[in-house]
Amino acid sequence: MAASIIDGKVIAADLRAQVAGEVTRMKRDHGLTPGLAVVLVGNDPASEVYVRSKHKQTQAAGMASFEHTLSADVAQADLLALIAELNADPAVHGILVQLPLPKRLDTGAVIAAIDPAKDVDGLHPHNAGRLAGGLPALSPCTPLGCIILTKSVHASLEGLDAIVLGRSNLVGRPLVQLLLNENVTVTIAHSRSRNLPELCRRADLVYAAVGKAEMVRGDWLKPGATVIDVGITRVPTVEGQTRLIGDVAFNEAMKVAGAVTPVPGGVGQMTVACLLVNTLRAACAIRGLPAPGV
């Protein structure tokens, strides 16, 4: 029997609707409009697309959206000055600096300059450390989305075996911590791991976040496994266009797995929805209000 497709579009739309409902309630009961500031440096076309989508969805949820576009040759000091301004701005509850930054800028220093209370990307060492310590923290959006998608298949993740392919600060590492919080048994694999297919075949939950198109084959999967594909590789088509391909060979996975996320239409949809959730949570925490219902 073919696997079921996990529909990230539908799940993300439902989450955005819940956020919009909470925003309406915040405005009415507390006069609070959550605000998200997104900083884009340079004009990388893919980043521009992401930032535009964040802007649209933030506004659609009833939040305030502040966009700051800086030229690719901005000085590090000027970027830090903008972050200091946003840290001090009471209308801004979330700050996201779109990555990657131009190589000559010090990404670590830029992230470290963000007020941890406004770090809706969950990348500041304060939040990464709290997450690793099992403490409440703002957590990176893509891993949060992966957990929600997994829970759309499994009511409880307790005791399941997972493999996380990839150890980036943005996805792999925080995802491991979130899975541990769900009492999952986690294997962390990466470019130096041996016997990847064998490791994968043990897992009930497979998270592929390496950025290598169709690396995970159907025969790497345990029958019935849940497969969450974080990869997005843009490849040219014969018609001269481009299309997105995940880290998992989708058609092969569909014959073996129990449930699979498509690319596009899976994890990607969830990242921005979770950014809205984090902005809402940050706004409540900054105002001293109870955590929202989403």
List residues near ligand GUN by CB under 6 A.
96-99, 121, 141-142, 170, 271
Residue nearest to ligand GUN (CB): 99
Between 143 and 204, CB nearer to ligand GUN: 143
Tell the burial category of 95 from Cβ atoms under 10 Å away from its Cβ (0-12, 13-18, 19+).
buried
Smallest distance, ligand GUN to C-beta of residue 64, A: 19
Residue 53 or 152 having the CB closest to ligand GUN? 53
**Closest C-alpha among 276, 201, 198, 269 to residue 229:** 269
Shortest Cβ distance from residue 244 to ligand GUN (Å)?
A: 13
Least distance (Å) from ligand GUN to the CB of residue 47?
A: 7
Task: Return the number of the residue (119 or 204) whose C-beta is nearest ligand GUN.
Answer: 119
Compare residues 96 and 178 and give the one whose CB is closer to ligand GUN.
96
SS3 38: strand
Asked if residues 93 and 279 have their Cβ atoms less than 8 Å apart, the reply is yes
In the complex with ligand GUN, the residue whose CB is nearer, 193 or 242, is: 242
Residue 93: φ, ψ to 5°: -110, -15
Closest CB 140 distance from ligand GUN, rounded Å:
6
Provide the annotated active-site residues: 54, 98, 121
Strand partners for 40: 69
Q: Interior CA angle at 199 toward 196 and 203, to 5°?
A: 130
In terms of DSSP H, where are the helices of 162-292? 172-181, 196-201, 250-256, 267-287
Residue 108: Cβ within 10 Å count:
11
- Neighbour-count burial of 165, counting CB atoms closer than 10 A to its CB (0-12 exposed, 13-18 middle, 19+ buried): buried
Residue 19 Cα distances to 16, 35, 144, angstroms: 5, 13, 15
Q: How far is the CB of 183 from ligand GUN (least distance, A)?
A: 26
| Ramachandran area for residue 134 (φ above 0: left; ψ -120 to 50: alpha; else beta) | left
